[in-house]
Amino acid sequence: MDWQVYIILCSDDSLYTGITTDVERRFTQHLAGLGAKYFRGRSPRQLVYLEVGHDRSSASRREVEIKRLCPADKRLLISSSGNQLEKTSSGRDQTD
């Protein structure tokens, strides 16, 4: 199964990192308030980063690596050529 690592920009300008097998479904769940407790008191604004092609184990390891980055390094990652979001979709936004 193809696992994905993603980053969502939140309403408070923080960055949430997670893993899933279906990023569109997971983003919709976050918008609906289902899943991560992180979204209590803040809301997801936009999917800003995506890595595809992981198995469950490598996705989990990569999620931990990204979560350990400082916010500035996460923003560099988002703007890097490793961001596969543009290759798979145009990104999700709450206003879509």
Ordered per-residue pLDDT tens for the chain, 96 residues:
799 999 999 999 999 999 999 999 999 999 998 878 999 889 999 999 999 999 999 999 999 999 999 999 999 999 999 899 876 554 555 444
Domain that holds residue 68: 3-88
Domain count of the chain? Answer: 1
For residue 10, being part of any structural domain is answered with: yes
For residue 95, being part of any structural domain is answered with: no
Q: By CB neighbour count within 10 A (0-12 exposed, 13-18 middle, 19+ buried), where does 95 fall? A: exposed
For residue 96, being part of any structural domain is answered with: no
Answer whether 39's CB lies under 8 Å from 30's CB.
Answer: yes
> Which pLDDT score is estimated for 89?
53
Q: What's the CATH number where 45 sits?
A: 3.40.1440.10
Q: Output the pTM of the full model.
A: 0.88
For residue 77, being part of any structural domain is answered with: yes
For residue 83, being part of any structural domain is answered with: yes
Both tokens of 6, joined, read 């993603």
For residue 49, being part of any structural domain is answered with: yes
